[in-house]
Amino acid sequence: MPLVSMRQLLDEAAKGGYGVGAFNVNNMEQIQAIMEAARETKSPAIVQASRGARSYSQDNFLYHLMLAAAELYPEIPLVLHLDHGNSVETCKSAIDLGFTSVMMDGSLNPDGKTPSTFEYNVEATRKVVEMAHAKGVTVEGEIGVLGGIEDGHGAGLSGLSHVTDPAQAEEFVKLTGVDALAIAIGTSHGAYKFAQKPTGETLKMGRLIEIHERLPHTHLVMHGSSSVPQDLQDIINKYGGKLRPTFGVPVEEIQLGIRNGVRKVNVDTDNRLAITGAIRKVFFETPEKFDPRDYLKPAREAMKKVVAQRMTQFGQAGHVGDYAQIPLAEMARRYAAA
């Protein structure tokens, strides 16, 4: 089956009251891990690539790996999503390549570091929506600014520096027509999110609920939502790593978000931790090994376990056969008729 639009997956998730994990990739093993987890749990899948990932893997390598995934796992509704597009041009390049969903992160200026104005965000996002919807491609926007930095993208601020204003979120959706909206409620990119376990107040879950009440038909997105499990940190440190103590986003808070309109949940750091821990373990226990397969196989398996667990926790497990996959051309016709 061809790659499908993210809008379809999120619409179905809204009907079923569950969330869909969106997992970042840079290479073949990560894509394989996600697809094996999706098959094991019978889950739809969102694979996403940042600008940094596109540069690292090169666009054509990445896209053809995704085509192979769609061919080898035809039963899985599969989305290729651009994470944190920094400009209209970046989003266009992804759409032209074959991405079926793009994020226009107009919360920051094109430098990917400086918080932008509301007016700039609306203008840039609306341009991407017009361009994407003409081809049946989904658009995610962002209002408010996430904390931290990921792949060089981010203002590096605290997650509470630019929390999303509910009234502004409502206006933004009305002016742009985005399919999904990433909101800032205290989460941050990267592993070092919180010095202690965050509470619902730390994460401003009340703000999320208010936004959902204002925008009941808009799919909300939680970025920076890795849980940074202690056991994955321990494995890395046991085998020579030096991670500082840190806390991520508790799964129960994500599940609260899912009950209140969150349909897409971004996870990256947890998978990086799992991969790194598995590789360190091989190097530590069998220093004579030098075949990349000796450490990439356990790394792939470790990531698969994390992804499968998140798919189950987010509620998407078991929903792979609920609906027929809609081609992008048909999605384009639906957008034009709306």
User: b vs e for 62-97, b when ≥16 Cβ sit within 10 Å of the residue's Cβ?
Assistant: bbebbeebbeebeebbbbbbbbbbbbbebbbbbbee
- pLDDT tens for 151-188 read 444 444 444 557 899 999 999 999 999 999 999 988 76
3-state SS class at 64: helix
CB-based contacts of 242: which residues, under 8 Å, 6+ apart?
none
Percentage, residues of the chain above pLDDT 90: 81
Q: What pTM value is reported for the model? A: 0.93
What CATH architecture does domain 6-333 belong to? Answer: Alpha-Beta Barrel (3.20)
Q: Any idea where the domains of the chain sit in the sequence?
A: 6-333
Instruction: pLDDT band for 16, please (50, 70, 90 cuts).
Output: very high
Say if residue 150's pLDDT is above 60.
Answer: no
Active-site annotation holder among 83, 151, 165, 268: 83
Known active-site residue 83? yes
From CA 334, how far away is CA 330, in angstroms rounded?
A: 6
Instruction: pLDDT band for 37, please (50, 70, 90 cuts).
Output: very high
Nearest to 69 by CA among 45, 94, 102: 45
Compute CA distances 33 → 29, 256, 270, 303, whole Å: 6, 27, 13, 6
